[in-house]
């Protein structure tokens, strides 16, 4: 397990967010490399298939495109993106060997029913993929907002400290907020 050295101002992470339109088959992904002191140090674009199963590989390709060895963590806005395209954080951790934190902002009750509705023929495979994500943990940030996280390669305390350090206001960490704005420009 890598440890996140939150105290380092130059700590860099890759934050990934997406944006898509309902009637399109492609979701636009944007990645922002941001330092702990909020300096933007790079960006990258990618795409995944709406209702597909290629989100994990798309994120790995984005990291590879950057060709950098100074990225200390990956933060992803949601692990079920592009209409049930499930991000496998265990695979990302196994390939990159840096902590991976998936952040969501709402409880996902009813997700299994939604998967069954959207994927009646491959429901069991999608549910198994969803359960491999592991347990979500609710974290209360210093801003007074709650987030839900799934992590690989770091502790819950390290994830909470990182999210608190990278969140200026509200619930959305600054790197994910910027990545989301960038993703929306691709529409």
11 has a pLDDT exceeding 80: yes
pTM: 0.89
- Position 152 scores a pLDDT of 94
Strand partners, 104: 148
Distance CA 74, CA 68 (A): 13
CATH class of the domain at 12-184: alpha beta
Q: Which of 46-55, 59-68, 89-98, 119-128 has the lowest mean pLDDT?
A: 119-128
Residues 6+ apart with CB under 8 A from 70: 12
Tell me the average pLDDT across 124-149: 83
CA dihedral 25→54→92→101, nearest 10 degrees, is: 30
| In the chain, where the domains are located | 12-184
């Amino acid at each position: 397990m890598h440890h996140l050295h939150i105290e380092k101002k130059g700590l860099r992470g890759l934050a990934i967010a997406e944006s898509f339109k309902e009637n399109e088959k492609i979701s636009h992904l944007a990645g922002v490399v941001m330092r702990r002191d909020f300096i933007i140090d790079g960006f990258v674009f990618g795409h995944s298939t709406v209702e597909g199963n290629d989100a994990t590989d798309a994120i790995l390709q984005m990291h590879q495109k950057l060709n950098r060895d100074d990225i200390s963590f990956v933060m992803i806005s949601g692990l079920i993106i592009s209409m049930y395209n499930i991000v496998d954080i265990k695979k990302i951790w196994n390939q990159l060997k840096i902590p991976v934190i998936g952040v969501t902002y709402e409880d996902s009750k009813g997700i299994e029913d939604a998967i069954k509705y959207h994927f009646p023929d491959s429901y069991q495979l999608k549910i198994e993929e969803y359960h491999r994500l592991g347990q979500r943990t609710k974290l209360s940030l210093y801003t007074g907002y709650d987030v839900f996280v799934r992590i690989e390669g770091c502790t819950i305390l390290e994830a909470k400290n990182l999210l608190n350090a990278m969140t200026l206001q509200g619930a959305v960490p600054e790197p994910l907020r910027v990545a989301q704005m960038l993703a929306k420009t691709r529409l």
